[in-house]
Each structure stands twice: as structure tokens, then as C-alpha cells.
A and B are shown apart, each in its own frame.
Chain A
Amino acid sequence: MIRIGIDVGGTNTDAVVMEGERVLASYKASTSADVTSGVSEALAGALKQSGVPANLIDVVALGTTHFTNAVVQRRDLIPTAAVRLGLPATQALPPMVDWSPDLRDAIGGHFYFAHGGHEFDGRPITPLDPDELRKIARDITKKKIRTVAVSSVFSPVNSEVERKAGEVLAAALPGVHITLSSDIGRIGLLERENAAIMNACLMDLSRGVIEAFRNSLEKNGITGRFFLTQNDGTLMDAALAERFPVLTFASGPTNSMRGATFLSGVKDGIVIDIGGTTTDVGSLKSGFPREASVAVEIGGVRTNFRMPDVFSIGLGGGSLVVDGDDGVTVGPRSVGYRLTKDAHIFGGKTLTTSDIIVAAGRADFGDRSKVKHLPPALITKTRARIMEMVANAVERTRLSPDPLPVIAVGGGSVLVDTKIGNLDVIKPKHFSCANAVGAAIAQISGEVDRVYRLSNSSREEAVADARERATQAAIAAGARADSVTIVDIEDVPIAYIPGNATRVRVKAVGELAL
């Protein structure tokens, strides 16, 4: 099977063509403001280099940090209304209460409390009031808000009220996007609601970006299946990703870590992925990214997704270097995709980390003669500062005193030396495209979500049955049978159905059969 993996970062867009476990070609392009041309260029470049005709591509897997970056940088977010069902309960902590104020402001901070929601045992807290929702809809119309997130108390146990409210709002608000919290998250009202609101505020961007991706594939004559990689490193259909961009949030770091372990063969280590704007540091355990144990914050917002524990700092190949009175500062601001215009080595006027590293003779790209004038003291100081930043991030992520290897990947990894503290640095082949490789080898998943009546079977039998079904679903979707493992089991007792019912959700993942 021939697959293409694409990684669309803030600075670079990388594409790799893989056949089985072999990397046939890799190509790095600049991310373009319109997204499309960068993806097209990377695709065309990689295809040409590989010599594989476009129509032979079976699968395209794309990972992107586009949506995460939008939230982190508070851009391209649209005003969103949060509607929470559960009155009179839950007013003690309104929607977005735990958000940083600038993000709340970026989407307008609009929220409404309405009646509805369930008690833990399935009784309604209060009945849903359609007139109340229509009144809210009128206010939403008046405020010209085009996207809504609905959350209801205990909706993962019973989503009926949330769906009904969604229907009432949809009827009253034609053309308005509605995200239901039960489609995204698990138990934990604030975390689930946060995810739903973030999803809703990304709707315009999501539609535009996924459409742009599709156009790029089409232009290059690719007809294979098109997936995006999601938080846990598995593939999701592009159409689903368009509706739930929030599920792609951690795909960048997940892909780079999986790509790094694949390319280097190292199963336990620390991965540093240095891009154009940021450096992500995470740890590998037995070949998998170490998962965060509790709530994960994204752009200062608490969520309860399963995602790798990654520490990010504002350091990359495009980071601004400023020689000030208090010494040299590097980042967090970056020229991003304008690197090839703004950096000195490309004839620009902004001093970046790339200029320093080329001037130091540690890398050779752009026009080296343009950085000859940089004073050696500045180069030394800047490189020391960069290594200090990286070493701190590695130290923070390092959770054992063992001398684990550091795998450096990403286009910006030219910034680091062969040692970080006392740790050896490995730069595997194709290191600069590790993210795209990670996307190309992304796992396939199989999921079941079934209600079992425990009057007919024991809980153990129900869970065993669900595990088997999820495993089979993963194999049917293309996973290699001997590689399938269960990554998530959640069982939520459903009190409102008689006969001791329980809803069992199981997710199985496996490597793509290559």
C-alpha cells in the first residue's frame, strides 16, 4: 500500500510518500497563508521525487496544528454562544469560567443558562423549555452569532435533551452551526463543555481548511482515501474532522513522537520536535507517547481528551532573536511561514534563529553571505540561549534520572547540538519530516459504543464482548490483527433504562496493515 503523510505546521508543510515501512520521498514546503498552495507544493514535490503516479496513492493522512494554533494564538475564532441546560443547577460556575480572559473575549464570552439536563439517575432536573430556547435563539440572532455549543448535565449518559435542544435551536437559527457536547466528550461538564465551545468557535476555519486540503489533493490527481489524524494518533475521516476540528488538537505532537520512534527505532526516550514557531517536548514509553494523566490544557482551557503529555516552548527556526540590554532573547514571536522572506539569509530584515545557525556554520540554507556581518559574540550568546531553552524543556519532561536518548526531529532541529546536558541527541534520517511520517503510519481504530443489559449477562461478559467487537472493527478498518490493542474502555451505568443497563465504549487501535 502506498501512503502519503502530510504535516501542515505553522511554518512548514511536509509531505512524505511511503510504501510499507520505506520512506520513498520527502518534501518540505513553506506553509502558505491560503494553506492550499503549500499543501499542493509539498504533495507535488514528494510525488515527483518518489516517481509514484498520483492515482496509485491509497491513503492520504494529514496532521495539522492549524486548529490548535488558532486557539493558542486567538485568531480565526468566531463569536460563539454557549448554551447550557441544567437550570437551576450549575449556575455557580458559568460556561468558560476557567478560561483565560483573552480567549473568552476572543469569542465574545456569550453564554446562556436554560432549563433541562438530567440527574444522575435519569430524572430530568427540569423539563426542557422550547420557548426559552427560542428566546435565546432570538438573542443569538440579534448578536449575529453563527455558531453554538450546547451542553447538558449528564448528556454522556442521556443525550436526548441535548439533541432535542439542538433541534429547537437549529430550527430557530437556520444556517447556524451547532456542536453538541455529547458528540465530543465524556463525563465532566466543564471539560466537555469547553471542548464543545472550542469546537464551535473553529467552525469557519475548519470548513475553509478542510476544503483547501481537499482541493490540493484534487489538483494533484489523488483519489485515495483522505484522513486526518486525531489526538490519540489514529485516523479519522476528513468529513468527520471538518465537523469536529477539536479532535485534531494534539495530532501534531502525537505524529512527531510516533514518527520519531519509527524513524529512530528508539522505544524509550525524549522527543523534541522543533518547528518554525514552537518546540514540543514529550516522552516515549515503549514506543508510544506518554499520555497525560489528568486534564490537559490547550491554550489555557481545561479539557479531558486523551492526549500525549507535551510541553511546548516558543522556540523554532523562525523565532525572533533580539539582542537587548538584558541579554539575548529568543522567541516566542516567530516570523512563521514568512521565514523565507523576512529572515536575513533570505534577504529580509528580521533576525531569526535560522540566521544565527547558518552564520555559525551549523546549517547551510539561504544565503550565508547575508549573515557575515553578525558579531561572533551574538552568535555564541544566542546559541547558548537556545541550548538553555531546549535543555530546560527536556529537563521538565524528563521524568526519570536514566540517561534516555533525545530524538530531535522537525525542520528546526538544526538548532540543537549533539548533546543536551548529558543526554545524547539522535537525529534520524528524514528527521525534518518526522511529523509527516507519523501521519503516514498513523494507526487505524475500531470503536464500539453499545448498551448492554446486565440482567442478561455479567459486566465482565459485556466488556469482553465489547473488546472483541472493537478489535474486529479495527481489523476490518485495515489494522494488522496481531497489532491491535485496546486503548480505552469506558463504562457508564445508565440508570434510566430498566434492567441494570450499562453503556460500554471501547476503542481498539492497530498498525495499518502495510
Chain B
Amino acid sequence: MSKKPLTSKTLAGSTTAKSATRPAVAHTPVVKSSATAKPPKPSVSAKLIDAAALEDIAVGGAILGTGGGGDPYIGKLMAQQAIRRHGPVRMIDVSELKDDDLVVPCAMMGAPTVMVEKIPQGDEILVAFRKLEKFLGRKINAILCAEAGGLNSTIPFVIGAMTGIPVVDADGMGRAYPEIQMVTWTMHGVSATPMVIVDDKGNNILLECIDNRWTERLARAATIEMGGSVLITLFPMSGKIARDASISGTLTLARRLGEILRESRAAHSDAVKAIQSKLGAATIFTGRVTDIDRRTVTGFARGEAKFAGVDEFRGHSYRIAFQNEFLIAEQDGTPIVTTPDLITLLDVDTGVPITTETLRFGLRVVAIE
């Protein structure tokens, strides 16, 4: 399943990096921009992503996030802050990648229930980037989005703004999934490692694993120990592989979904319908939340939500089980929708996506697939 990593350099059995030298109270995030990195040549199709565009990407990301991937609000604020400080981020198409470009996905990993409460220190993602560059012995040319759903739809723009490196309009799943190996890159034999994991306290880990399941297992264990929410860089790959093995256009899709929601609200039209028509999504049910059992276990927000059907679904009960993302929907005890179909909950009136950690008693939602 796993192929040799892109790099020839190997660090036998390395799991820990030594340098945790950042002082605990470093107030100002590192803002050095990589003047030495050679950015790919500007292209006519490059889009500039500014702070306003992040609003739409974050909303669309929450729709594609199928309840998980974390509420993009925190990531949006981080990206907007970075963009205000360093300027807008260039977003490029996969076709603009050169075969030998070094392309690296980045993400936040952990439980969404932790992310809304424990905000990052701020330098983690930059440290994860620089550590991986150092280990691979070369500069990163483009940033990939690991998952276009949830919080991780916004994280590439944080590091994009900080470094001036372009973000590729693509991701590895076209949605959000709970685990590292669940990406198209795994299916194409790309190794998730070398991977760098950085926490808010200044700890960091360099992982090399025999396959991507092991990466998930070890990285998850480390994430829990590090406090349930970390920043990561992983799946370093060539421009050619990124082009062949990524799902193209997903960040633009997220942005478009955000725009649709914003525009339909402004036009007082049915936002839920507009989103459904863009995604070709059917209605699973409309219901009211009657119970949420949500806990942070084994590094995930796990649990289930129960709903009483309303309108034409009255008389039925529904249950959605989640592990970060909504994974199975049941009607009266029988599974009716499961992943890989996207199961997304939207506020019944406004179309605003509802994430697992913001679900609460009494909310009226429409579940779409």
C-alpha cells in the first residue's frame, strides 16, 4: 500500500525531534517570510485569496466538512489575521504544478471539540513546515489542502500568507474524514510520512512509518498526549503526483458553496435548496435535535445525535453517529445513509452548516446527502 517517500533521505526510527527550544511565553508569532523559497512563476489563472474570500471558503468548508473537521471559524480568523499581516495568498490550479515541485499538505489534527476551546499558539504550522523542509533538504514549492472540509479548508491559507507560497486548489478527499490515511494520496501509494507534528507547547515530532495506517495510529496517540489538537505537515509529494492523485478544484467548490449561501440569504431565497442543487444532494430528513451524546475519546469527538422528524418526516426518529464527521444516518433504527456519501446538517431556515461540536438540543436541522 505504501510507497517509498519522495525523499531518499531516511532517518531510521526517528520519532522525536530534539528542538523544543521556543520559550513558553513567546508572544509574537514568527513572521519571517521565506525570501529564499523560489515561488513558482506567476500564472494568469492564479487567484488571489484575500480576507473576504476566506469568509466564503470557511462556510463552504463547513458544508463539505460533514459536521467534522472542526468549526472553520478559528481557522478563518487565523488565516485572515495572517493575510492582513502578510498580504493575500495565491491559489493555483493543479495544472500549474511542475513535475518536480515539492508539494506538501498541511492540516490541523485532533478533536473539533478541543479546537474550539484550545486555540493554537500560532507558530506551530510554520515550525511544521520548516522542520519538514529541513528534513527533506529542500524548499516547499506549493501547499496542498489535506481536506477541503471543516477547519482544514482554511489552514493552508494561514501558512500560505506566512510564507508567500501558493496554495493548490485541490485536496485529498473532497470533504472531511476522521483519519489520516483516508485520502486519495493513500490510494495512489503516497506515503503520509515523513510527517511533522507540532503542539502548542513547543513539542514536535518527526514520524516515519511503514504505512499510512501506522502513521494514523502513532500520530493519533501523539496528538492525544500533546493535548488533542496539533498542526501537521505530511504526505510530501512531487508536483506530478499531486496533479495525478489530488481532487482538483475543491477549494473553489468550498468558496462557491459559501458564496451561494451568502447570496441566497441576501436574496431571501431558499439557501438549503441552493446548496442541494449545487451539490446534487438529496434530503435525508428534517428534524429537531432531541439528544446529543458527545465525548472526546481516543482523540476524536465521538458520539451520536438523535432527532425527531418534523414536517413530512414527523413520526420517525433519526440518529446520526459521528467520529468527528457524521458517518452513519439511521431512520427508526435502520441505517439509510453511510459514508462515503456526504452527510451534512444545515440549519433548516438559514442553510448555515452545523458542525458536531455546535449541535445542540432543540436545533431544527435538515440532513442532506
Give the interface of A toward B (CB within 8 A): 86-93, 97-98, 113, 115, 117, 119-121, 123, 125-126, 153-154, 187-190, 290-291, 293-295, 302, 309, 395-396, 398-399, 459, 463, 486-491, 493, 495, 502
Determine whether B130 belongs to the interface, using a CB cutoff of 8 Å to chain A.
no
| Minimum CB–CB distance for A474 against chain B, Å | 16
Determine whether B116 belongs to the interface, using a CB cutoff of 8 Å to chain A.
yes
Instruction: A88-B22, A187-B113 given; name 13 further pairs at CB < 8 Å.
Output: A88-B25, A89-B121, A90-B118, A93-B78, A93-B119, A115-B24, A120-B227, A154-B118, A188-B116, A293-B349, A293-B364, A491-B292, A502-B295
Determine whether B360 belongs to the interface, using a CB cutoff of 8 Å to chain A.
yes
Interface residues on B, range: 35 or more
Interchain CB contact under 8 A, B118 and A459: no
Q: What 1/0 mask marks residues of chain B from 205 to 247 whose CB sits below 8 Å from any chain A CB?
A: 0000000000000000000100110000000000000000000
Determine whether B41 belongs to the interface, using a CB cutoff of 8 Å to chain A.
no
Residues of chain B lying within 8 A (CB to CB) of residue A121: 224, 228, 296
For A459, give the chain B residue with the smallest CB separation.
Answer: B293
Interchain CB contact under 8 A, B293 and A189: no
CA–CA, A97 and B82, complex, Å: 12
Interchain CB contact under 8 A, A294 and B116: no
For A506, give the chain B residue with the smallest CB separation.
Answer: B361
Interchain CB contact under 8 A, B228 and A92: no
For A154, give the chain B residue with the smallest CB separation.
Answer: B117
On whether A92 and B116 interact (CB within 8 A), knowing A97-B81, A293-B350, A490-B361, the answer reads: no
On whether A119 and B118 interact (CB within 8 A), knowing A88-B24, A396-B268, the answer reads: yes
For A494, give the chain B residue with the smallest CB separation.
Answer: B295
23 residue pairs of the A-B complex, CB under 8 angstroms, read A87-B25, A88-B24, A88-B26, A89-B200, A91-B120, A92-B78, A92-B119, A92-B122, A120-B227, A120-B228, A121-B224, A153-B117, A187-B117, A187-B357, A294-B352, A396-B268, A459-B293, A463-B291, A490-B360, A490-B361, A491-B293, A493-B296, A495-B296
| Minimum CB–CB distance for A228 against chain B, Å | 23
CA–CA, A113 and B119, complex, Å: 13
Residues of chain A lying within 8 A (CB to CB) of residue B73: 190, 295, 302
Residues of chain B lying within 8 A (CB to CB) of residue A89: 118-121, 200-201, 227
For B120, give the chain A residue with the smallest CB separation.
Answer: A92
Residues of chain A lying within 8 A (CB to CB) of residue B136: none
CA–CA, A71 and B90, complex, Å: 38
For B201, give its contact among A120, A125, A295, A493 (CB under 8 Å): A125
CA–CA, A115 and B352, complex, Å: 36
| Minimum CB–CB distance for B108 against chain A, Å | 11
Determine whether B77 belongs to the interface, using a CB cutoff of 8 Å to chain A.
yes
Interchain CB contact under 8 A, B228 and A126: no
Interchain CB contact under 8 A, B121 and A90: yes
On whether A98 and B77 interact (CB within 8 A), knowing A189-B117, A463-B291, A493-B296, the answer reads: yes
